Structures are given as structure tokens and as C-alpha cells.
Amino acid sequence: MKVTPVKFSQRMANSLEKFSSQGGEKIANYINAGGKFAIAPLMILYNPFSDESKENKKWAAIKQPVEAVVTIAAQIAALGLLFKGIDKLAAKGKIKFKLVEDIKKSGEFPKQILESVNNDKTKALEELSKDCLDIFKDRVGTVLTIALYVPILALSNRIFPKVADMLVKDDDKNG
């Protein structure tokens, strides 16, 4: 099957849209982990301004991907559990947003929201509730990510030496 530039561009656009709908904190975590995993080790290994020994550079470069994997795994698990819990509470009506409650009482919807759902007030209320919930989850997710920083760092510092020792010893035997 031949992929035309238009199909490729549309696939890329769809992929980027799907990725961006994951929420701000998730995207920040993915980008940070990707940079630590792929870019940071290269910058450490091939830094022309560093006078560190080759072995020190290898150890420092290995730490970045180990930390990225531990961080993203812990954050995905923690955020997944958190978001699942928030969704359950919201479904039970235990999480309410003042903006949504005020609009329910007044019946006055922002024009832009009504237009986006063809003036269907039920859909507008659902859309507004979903948007408020997404913003809430993103903010709570940011707080959780900050709270997890030290435990994740401690865990990666325990795992890293074992992985680095394995990889550096293997390189020394082969090289």
C-alpha cells in the first residue's frame, strides 16, 4: 500500500490530535520522559565541553533512561488510578463544579458552547461538565506528579546503579 503525502499528513494530524487530547500533565510527562530517554544520554555522552572520563559519562548517560522509565511507569500507574477514582466520584455526583451548577440554575450557557453543539443544551451541559472535569483532573494530576517526585527519584536511584553496573561492565568486556 502506497502512502501518499496527504494520507500521511492526515494520519500525523490525527495522531497529534489524539495525543494532545490526553491532557496537559500526561503530555508533559511523556515529553519529559522521551527527552530523558533519548536526548539527555546523547548530550551527556557527546558533550564536547565536559572533561569527565568516558566511564563517568556512561554512568551519567545510563541514569537518564532508567529514571525516565521509572518515572513514566510510576506516573502512568498513579495518574491512571487517580483519574479512574475521580471519574467514579464524578459519575456518582460527588464532584461538582460551580460553573456547571450555576449554568444549570440559570439556564444561560456561554454562546460558544451552545454553538459548538448546535444549540443542544443537554449536550452543552455534558460538554461543559467534561471540560471542567478534564481541567480538574489535570490540576490534581499536576499536584500528584509533584508529590511523587521524591519517591520516584528515590526508586530510580535504587534501580539505576544495578542497571548501570550491568551495562557498563558489559561494554567494558566487549570494548
Tens-place pLDDT, residues 105-116? 998 888 888 888
In this structure, are residues 159 and 66 in contact, taking their beta carbons and an 8 Å threshold? yes
Arithmetic mean of pLDDT, 83-88: 94
Cell 454553538: give the residue: 115
Q: How far apart are CA 109 and CA 103, in angstroms?
A: 6
- Secondary structure (3-state) at 21: coil
DSSP characters over 102-157: HHHHH----HHHHHHTTT-HHHHHHHHHHHHHHHHHHHHHHHHHHHHHHHHHHHHH
Q: How far apart are CA 163 and CA 66, in angstroms?
A: 8
> According to the model, what pLDDT value does residue 166 have?
84
Tens-place pLDDT, residues 125-139? 998 899 899 889 989
Q: How far apart are CA 144 and CA 26, in angstroms?
A: 12
Residue type, 135: I
> According to the model, what pLDDT value does residue 174 have?
46
How many Cα atoms within 13 Å fall on the side-chain side of residue 58? 14
Tens-place pLDDT, residues 24-71? 667 777 888 888 888 989 998 898 888 888 888 888 888 889 989 998
What DSSP designation does 37 have? I
Query: Whole-prediction pTM value?
Result: 0.67
Q: What percent of the chain has pLDDT over 90?
A: 23
Arithmetic mean of pLDDT, 87-95: 93
Arithmetic mean of pLDDT, 145-161: 91
> According to the model, what pLDDT value does residue 32 have?
82
Mean pLDDT of the chain: 83
Residues whose CB falls within 8 Å of the CB of residue 46, separated by 6 or more in sequence, listed in order: none
